[in-house]
Structure 1
């Protein structure tokens, strides 16, 4: 646009001169007389009318003010200078159209002001003109008045079209691309290993710090103050002029595209619930999509939604109701997309490995619901909170179903072959490692079970099992999650007892229970949170059970060895009965060789338990053997007879005991010595 305040001086057509000769030729003609009178009036009006666009605009403003003051005016006459004003405005618009066809907002500030001022002026004209010409009495409106009204409407529409183009140009082309961190939350917020040594308050503090850092580092929504001020001026005039729908549509489309750009940069795919359930592999979802979802959700809550609200409130500063509606519409669309993803994840086929990813999503929703809800206007806040809580419930219910399915996994493990060497059973490792990680989510699982457990949950254990559980339940942890965990542990114990009966040797059966029980206890004690869940009573009872299994193993294995070293029955009338002594040494050598060969292949991976077992065995056997040899060795003739029956020194016995429980079958001691 160009500033041409004197355009009216050159563009206004000259006034028609009065044709006196023609009038005299036929002075009786009423038509000619009327025309002459009209021409005379036009000449007088032209002589008294300002000719510059600026002066004409001032006159129009005065005319508008007078009409506005006289609110009851009807059928008023639009002054003749208004037509000249419209001519000059249209010529100005034609010059504006003659440009390159692109919005030129900001190139010349005077042109921007002219467009805004005239848009405002014509909006007022439209309001007053349409308001003072009654629609129910069209016969009272002359053709000239209709033509004038149509011209005002046409120019008003063209001015609003220019404002709309400028608004679109500013909001789309002036936005500074937002720099995003696609992995902003991936490492700390959703890494289960990182949770193991963090309390819930520490996790919340970490999230708050991450959000503060994001607010400081992210340039959003990416418009300069000058641009926002211009957008606000244009929006104000468009809304005042009755073009609210057009302005809002441009804003919504542009900002929706900006949000889509954010989603793409944050690696959040736009995918339907059906596609998630039927097409997407869980590995892909867990590795890529869920971390991206959590990252996106938290960044929206911390930065993008607050930023979008500030932007709408600034752009539509003169109409906060419109601003609230726009923000609600835009943000709700993004929220629904995020919630659809959460519901899709919750609806996928349930499996044990999915629990902790679903809990990560559940935690993320819990953290942002209140913050997001506060941003929405009162009329829509309840709806959005309902939607978010519904998605949270779906995740919670799916998590409960998966955790409770541990019962079925234990029940369905019906292997008929014993684990070699009495080792820790794979089921034990799986369940305990699962519960160990669950301990990192204790507070979340407590909340999930408390808020989302259904009374008549299918797949629950029998009444007898519940009564059994009540006997071992620490009353300090009477939560639904603790009850369910204890049910799982009771079932695991029962399953292990059944698997222990697969071993033919009683010693190995007890060894198996001791080995697995030790693994279970260590896993519980190594998790502060799971120790709280199980309670001190359970830990004491489990420790007592382990001591009993240990004693039973010792009795079944090493008591037989000790019987060989018993002094009773070896002397008759004060003399050693040599044949019996020989048989005792032979029995000891054979039995110890057999135990060494067999139990070297038994497996204890827990180094502490392995050491404790060896020490306890040595503490029983070595002193007894050393005493037996010291008491009866001189009975044999020195040389070959002694070597034949006393094959081992006490130090040899200790060395061989230290070879037990490595899971590696050793060659027979006797063969090694020959």
Structure 2
């Protein structure tokens, strides 16, 4: 009290004229009136009276007592002026002792009111609702604490259904005005410590309860995280992703606004309160991703690590702005460390993924030349990575790709082309695809039939191109990359047709309409029958999963073989061999038969295992 109200006597070197008796009498009279007015209302609200039988329990700041609340705060202000006057002129006066006692009583009452307002208007002071107010709706420091406030139109806006902090949909700013008025009175009277203590206890309890409701486990330290099964930890991560968004977007901003407004007379106190209230909970929140980043790193965990990195990165502007004081620097450092550790973890997992592709141990071939599991796994993985382009750009920006030799132009395009792959993310993903394709080349060589090797390569590269087209990889790799690889698919298909059906084509004459001896005609039909049946039977178990590619191959085969066979059949199949009694066994297929057989080709059914011949006039039964 002395430190606040008792002022040092004037310097002896400084001469002050004596106050006139009239002035002293007037001032004393005024101060006496202030003390008496204060005593009247302070005493009234300190103990029961005839007019106010429950004043000790009633709220001074309720709607029905709002006029008395004005008088109460005004009397405290007048009492403070009286005490300052008495300290200067009558330091030993009994009036000063009386005024000090009244001030202590008043402060106790205001402490109680401060607590009751927080308790009574718990939901009105919910950070979710409070932080939704625009800066224009916040009460200014100069506004009267008891002025009539216009309703904020934004109070009627519906809440976000996903936010899990309870609270009212409409917010009254009157409680905040009252809290600020009480805080201002207590601070000016030298009771800042008591005011701040109540504020911290109540609001910290609210923040802790809100974080608990969001599922934030403050006991989840590094040791516990590392011992968790991945399935359990993954659930924790998903919950954290929701909790951190609500906390940073709603909970902490609401608390920041509330503390700034309640302690608008003393911003440093408001900052101190906010730091004390939020620090422990925020620290637990931001330590979680850092602890996860220290767990065992395997490629299948990559996407949850990227989710964590993305969440912290996206919220960083709010974190940096909200926790911008020296007292909250630890929170900023923790958030930054989480980004660093998560980035390191992602780079480690990318390296592990690259190594896994290179060391994939499978030596078995895929039946029918279909899609290899490695192709599916790698392309699904990489297409998911492409959804995190912005995050990966941050992570790999300063992490150059090291390869034994420059990548071939078909994978990266011409340096002079505007569509050439150039971003660090594009380069790295193109490199992973190239590693996989090189691995597939080795697997293709395991097939004993060369034509099946080409079909395998066509199938798998078609799958790769399809995944690129259907995902963000198309944006990263560009149209030129897609076009070049589509041409590569066509080349593989052409090689398959040429190698797989070479015997069938070789069995037919180069010029099917030229004059040919009957014996040679018979040989051509016999050779065609054998070559076609052998090739078809072998390829009934082969497969082309992509319907479009399968149709293209069938159409291409038909254009290669059917026109030649049709001309030969029409020239020699009837007229020249009509006299032979075994002509039907020699000419087994009509041109239409070939089309019917090809309709079931490359479906991977392998059901027949052989070709059922039909008469030259009949056609294959369907």
The bucket for the TM-score relative to the shorter chain is 0.7 to 0.9
Question: Once the 2 structures are TM-superposed, how far is the Cα of residue 569 of structure 1 from its aligned partner?
Answer: 12
Q: SS at the partner of 1:431?
A: helix
Asked if 1:495 corresponds to 2:439, the answer is: yes
Are the aligned partners of 1:160 and 1:238 in contact in 2 as well (CA < 8 Å)?
A: yes
- Relative to structure 1, the CA distance from residue 320 to residue 593 in structure 2 (aligned partners, 3 Å threshold; closer, same or farther) is same
> Offset of 1:671 from its aligned partner?
4.8
Which segments of 5 or more consecutive residues in structure 2 lack a partner in the other structure? 1-26, 130-152, 160-166, 616-622
Of 550, 555, 567, the residue aligned with 1:627 is 567
Question: 1:272-321, CA deviations, whole angstroms, 9 ceiling, x for partnerless residues?
Answer: 242662354444554x5444433333344444444333322221122122
CA distance in 2, matches of 1:599, 1:251: 81
Question: Counterpart of 1:217 in 2: which secondary structure?
Answer: coil
TM-aligned CA distance change 1:481 to 1:547, over 3 Å: same
Q: Helix, strand or coil: the match of 2:304?
A: helix
Taking the TM superposition and a 5 Å limit, the aligned residue runs for 1:452-601 are 453-454=398-399, 462-464=403-405, 467-468=406-407, 472-474=411-413, 475=415, 476-527=420-471, 529-567=472-510, 576-578=517-519, 580-601=520-541
Match runs of 1:195-210 below 5 Å: none
Return the offset for 1:87: 12
Kindly state the Cα deviation for residue 323 of structure 1 after the two structures are TM-superposed. Answer: 1.8
Task: Quote the Cα distance in structure 1 between the aligned partners of 2:449 and 2:30.
Answer: 109
Map 1:190-229 → 2, pairs under 5 A: 216-218=157-159, 224-229=172-177
CA distance in 2, matches of 1:640, 1:133: 145
CA deviation vs aligned residue, 1:325-372 (integer Å, no higher than 9, x gap):
323443444433331232233333333343333333333333332234
Q: Computing the radius of gyration over CA atoms, which structure comes out larger, 1 or 2?
A: 1
Distance 1:639 1:162, change over 3 A: farther
Contact 2:441 2:457 in 1 (8 A): yes
Q: TM-score, normalised by structure 2?
A: 0.76
Given that residues 260 and 267 in structure 2 are in contact (C-alpha distance below 8 angstroms), is that contact kept between their aligned partners in structure 1?
yes
Task: Give the Cα–Cα distance (whole angstroms) in 2 for the partners of residues 214 and 482 of structure 1.
Answer: 47
Deviation at 1:605, TM superposition (A): 1.4
Q: Which residue of 2 aligns with 1:193?
A: none
Q: How does 1:163-178 map to 2 (within 5 A)?
A: 163-176=110-123
Q: Relative to 1, partners in 2 of residues 1:423 and 1:445: Cα closer, same or farther, differing over 3 Å? A: same
Q: Please report how far the alpha carbon of residue 436 of structure 1 lies from its aligned counterpart in structure 2 after TM superposition.
A: 1.9
Is the alpha carbon distance of 1:406 and 1:214 closer, same or farther for their aligned partners in structure 2, counting shifts above 3 Å? Answer: farther
Q: Structure 1 residues 111, 280: closer, same or farther in 2, change over 3 A? A: farther
Q: Which residue of 1 aligns with 2:586?
A: 645
Check the 8 A contact 2:544/2:604 in 1, yes or no: yes
Are 1:434 and 2:381 counterparts? yes
CA deviation profile, 1:524-578 (whole Å, cap 9, x unmatched): 2333x4234324553344234323322221121111110111257999xx66152
Contact 2:343/2:395, CA 8 A, preserved across alignment: yes
* The structure with more helix, counted as a fraction of residues: 1
Point out where structure 1 has 5 or more consecutive residues left out of the alignment. Answer: 1-57, 66-80, 135-140, 182-211
Q: TM-score, normalised by structure 1?
A: 0.70
Question: In the alignment, what sits opposite 1:327?
Answer: 274
Deviation at 1:89, TM superposition (A): 6.8
CA contact (8 A) 1:373 1:381 kept: no
Q: State how far apart, in whole Å, the 2-side matches of 1:545 and 1:391 are.
A: 44
What's the CA shift for 1:125? 7.1
Residues 404 and 484, structure 1, Cα contact 8 Å, conserved in 2: no
Give the distance between the partners of 1:276 and 1:566, measured in 2 at CA: 78
Q: How many angstroms apart in 2 are the aligned matches of 1:502 and 1:651?
A: 36
